[in-house]
């Protein structure tokens, strides 16, 4: 599909859906915000200072009032997407815990990308020790804090700042720099809940049939996932992510982790490097209201994916949000809004969302418990007893985000 037709289809979505849901917010980031230093803030209570980062990205200027706006099919080949800066504040209080306590919290990707930059963190609380560790091989950044035995009410507040802009894939352009071979190999591996052999491989082979082109094979798997899964909001968190159990049962229902990891597993099973990205919604959506979030974001975790194709690089996809929109909006299979949305979310991420990591089978440093299938929720451990922020009897957890404007 040519880029102009792709952009036209994207514009059509805003015409088909209710204006109250799809009204796009204009970026108002001022020159003052674009000059903001992105040097990471020092942590409080003697926690180690975070490393300095390059300057915050400059926001694209907004159109002048009254200026003629181009038609969707007349947009330039590479429309300038403005950066938006967000302040994200997480507040945690623990109760009914006895003994030495450690807490882990996933943070935004440390490595800058064309669609996200981490601008720094600061934290405060009554902890004994706190800091950040990174695992570059797993693209994971984790904040940790320790409390000694005898602290009655462990408390923590951590503030982060990130810059975001929408991520687009342009099928008309090739020539992206090749990814390192070790990264590609890593994203072909199986994990505990994401196998790549047996039923998974047979399913992937049926999905692609005789298609040989790598990009078309990725699209065939994306389409197969959309046609065969359903969104189930009754599951806790973002889902279980147990792909073999889903395929064995024939019940391909779940939340974003289940749907996304199914896509990743099917890609890896036939030799397409693919990886999930676990993160959190931080703003409303221009597409459908259910694809955004405001107020307390503590349960707004979400998982997306990308797959690698030679010549194009990493291509973003978001099949879980297509299935969520079908569920929330009661869209039929021939609904024009669904046709446009399914095309749009193959190659597009609306960046009202912050990416944390793409790690699977995560072992938490300093913890005694077993590996986690993935890390997206805050975790705590007392005497080898681990629990997460869904345990509301022991965990009080709130997250708020605000756009930094002039």
pLDDT (tens digit per residue) in 160-207? 999 999 999 988 888 777 899 999 999 999 998 899 999 999 999 999
**In this predicted structure, what is the pLDDT of residue 64?**
41
pLDDT, tens only, 20-36 = 333 333 333 333 333 33
Amino acid 7: pLDDT: 42
* Residues of the chain falling short of pLDDT 70: 1-80, 137-138, 406
Cα 174 to the chain's mean position, in Å?
A: 25
pLDDT of residue 28: 39
Selection from 319, 313, 373 nearest residue 342 by Cα: 319
Strand partners, 120: 161
Per-residue confidence (pLDDT) for residue 80, from 0 to 100: 58
Question: Phi then psi for 256, rounded to 5 degrees?
Answer: -65, -35
Domains of the chain: 36-57+82-165+382-406 (no CATH), 173-350 (3.10.620.30)
- The pLDDT score that the predictor gives to residue 138 is 66
**Res 35: pLDDT:** 37
Q: What angle do CA 54, 182, 314 make, to 5 degrees?
A: 60
Answer for the pair 306, 314: CB distance below 8 angstroms, yes or no: yes
The count of C-alpha atoms lying within 13 angstroms of the C-alpha of 117, restricted to the half-sphere facing its C-beta, is 19
């Amino acid at each position: 599909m040519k880029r102009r037709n792709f952009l036209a289809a994207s514009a059509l979505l805003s015409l088909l859906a209710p204006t109250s849901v799809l009204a796009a917010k204009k970026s108002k980031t001022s020159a003052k915000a674009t000059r903001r230093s992105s040097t990471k803030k020092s942590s409080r209570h003697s926690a180690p200072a975070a490393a300095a980062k390059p300057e915050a990205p400059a926001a694209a200027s907004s159109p002048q009032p009254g200026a003629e706006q181009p038609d969707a099919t007349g947009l330039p080949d590479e429309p300038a997407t403005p950066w938006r800066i967000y302040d994200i504040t997480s507040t945690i209080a623990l109760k009914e815990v006895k003994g030495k306590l450690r807490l882990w919290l996933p943070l935004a990707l440390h490595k800058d990308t064309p669609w996200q930059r981490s601008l720094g963190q600061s934290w405060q609380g009554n902890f004994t020790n706190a800091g950040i560790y990174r695992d570059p091989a797993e693209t994971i950044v984790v904040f940790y804090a320790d409390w000694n035995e005898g602290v009655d009410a462990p408390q923590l507040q951590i503030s982060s700042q990130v810059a975001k802009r929408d991520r687009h894939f342009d099928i008309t352009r090739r020539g992206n720099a090749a990814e390192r071979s070790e990264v590609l190999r890593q994203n072909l591996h199986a994990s505990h809940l994401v196998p790549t052999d047996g039923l998974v491989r047979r399913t992937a082979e049926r999905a692609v049939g005789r298609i040989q082109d790598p990009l078309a094979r990725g699209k065939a798997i994306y389409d197969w996932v959309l046609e065969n899964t359903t969104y189930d909001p009754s599951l806790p968190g973002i889902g279980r992510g147990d792909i073999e159990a889903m395929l064995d049962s024939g019940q391909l229902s779940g939340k974003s982790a289940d749907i996304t990891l199914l896509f990743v597993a099917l890609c890896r099973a036939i030799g397409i490097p693919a990886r999930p990205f676990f993160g959190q919604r931080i703003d409303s959506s221009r597409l459908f209201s259910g694809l955004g979030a405001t107020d307390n974001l503590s349960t707004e975790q979400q998982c997306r994916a990308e797959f690698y194709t030679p010549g194009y690089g990493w291509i973003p996809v978001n099949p879980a949000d297509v299935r969520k929109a079908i569920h929330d909006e009661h869209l039929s299979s021939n609904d024009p809004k669904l046709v446009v949305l399914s095309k749009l979310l193959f190659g597009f991420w609306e960046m009202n969302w912050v990416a944390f990591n793409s790690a699977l089978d995560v072992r938490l440093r300093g913890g005694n418990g077993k590996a986690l299938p993935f890390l997206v929720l805050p975790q705590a451990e007392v005497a080898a007893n681990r629990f997460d922020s869904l345990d509301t009897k022991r965990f009080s957890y709130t997250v708020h985000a605000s756009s930094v404007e002039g």
